[in-house]
Amino acid sequence: MAKAKSKSVFYCSSCGHEEPKWLGRCPGCGEWNSFKEKVLPTAAPTPSGLFEEAAVPQKISSIILEDVTRQSTGIPEADQVLGGGLVEGSAVLLGGEPGIGKSTLMLQIAMMASQDREVLYISGEESPRQIKLRANRLGINSDKLILYCESRVEEILRTLEERKPGLVVMDSIQTIQSPSQGMVPGTVNQLKYGCFELINWVRKRGAVLFLIAHVTKDGAIAGPKVIEHMVDTVLYFDHSGSELRVLRATKNRFGSVDEVGLFQMGSEGLSQVSHPEGLFLENREGELPPGISVAPVFEGSRVLLVEIQSLTVPAKGAVSRIFSDRVEGSRVSRVAAIMEKHLGIKFSDQDIYINVAGGMKIAEIGMELPLALAIYSARTGIRIPSDLIALGEMSLTGEIRPVPQIRRRLKAAEEMGFKRILIPGKSDETQEWTGSPPIIAKDIKEAIKQVFSAPQKH
């Protein structure tokens, strides 16, 4: 009797896209020569099928909506980034570089959550002893915090069904595996299959799932992009300075993606930064060096004062270059082009370097006028007054447009000792300003004249 032929499919090793036959280029992500063959198992029961009931079609009018209830993590900075707390049945993906503090943050969140529910901390990388040593250093000890060192999907699902924890942590998704998807952990199909099963379980049971992932050298979460589509929230844990950590969301189905959480890494774990307004300002005495300006920018619901640093040097080749990893390079190029057009100052023969003190990444529009002032100061060698802040959006026509929440920006600047402000136009939001009368500039030419024509102190 002839044996039945095993079926196989071809999958993209970059994004996980599947095709019945081999292709030279993936139609999903555009990568070349990324397809690999995978033999499909002849009979492999779906683990989640052991615990699930089949879904039934429903009329949309018959679906009863319940209010979304949130539970605090016990860490206000994390709650702010999550949109107010944890939502039952949600899945959160946390990515970051190795050693940045992902496991430390998750242990602290798990400890706070274990006060009123059982938490299952699943580790595929470390032994219980290693996790216990970290927990002792952080002062973490709870009978409701259960450590489980396992990487097989089927065993994890059985344990979840037995214990029914309220919060689940998987550290990390790169170690998860199932024999039905091959014997090598970390492959695209292993990640897709394992994460889908865990996400499906917590959604059916009303629990909360945290998936920890490493990042690639480019800063993206390692693994197929489809995992980010499956979860409800995607968080990134970044460095910003030697001990400062920034937690930010790039996707959040239950809240904003503009919020950031600030932490300091110490010997006893991560501590929150409660008053970060002037955290990114350099402590200097006297005047600012040329090429430096201060901008009050919004990060979510809070105002941060950041120092923008600029340097211009003659281009070493025929084409000028822009070096800026904290501010988008295209924005720097656009601001420089606006000044070259409307001020007549030449930047096309200059290499431009832009940095933000403290390592903070800025994308907010209100920093464009301070960025222009910093670049002009670096090009001319003229200092910007140390007690001046500026805010405004740059138009291609050279005009300066107003930005929202001026009152809150000025309040933060006033608390940090700034006395002078440069704004695009008159505003009722400056009535509470107690410093010098606001400097009004409608375009970049007028702004440069107002700032740099005043006598400089030496």
Binding site per annotation, positions for ATP: 96-103
Residue whose structure tokens are 């049971």: 205
What is the C-alpha to C-alpha distance for residues 190 and 186, in angstroms, rounded to an integer?
Answer: 6
SS3 at position 145: strand
* 306, two tokens: 């950041």
* 355, two tokens: 């940095």
Spell out the alpha helix ranges (H) of 281-366.
329-343
> Which residues make Cβ contacts (< 8 Å) with residue 455, sequence separation at least 6?
none
* Burial class of residue 366 in the structure, from the number of CB atoms within 10 Å of its CB (0-12 exposed, 13-18 middle, 19+ buried): buried
For 74-166, strand residue ranges (E) read 86-87, 91-96, 119-123, 145-148
Q: Which of 120, 115, 121 is closest to 134 using CA atoms?
A: 121
Residue whose structure tokens are 């720097």: 332
Residue pair 108/269 in contact (Cβ under 8 Å)? The answer is yes
Report the binding-site residues: 96-103
Residue pair 323/353 in contact (Cβ under 8 Å)? The answer is yes
Spell out the alpha helix ranges (H) of 164-269.
188-205, 226-230
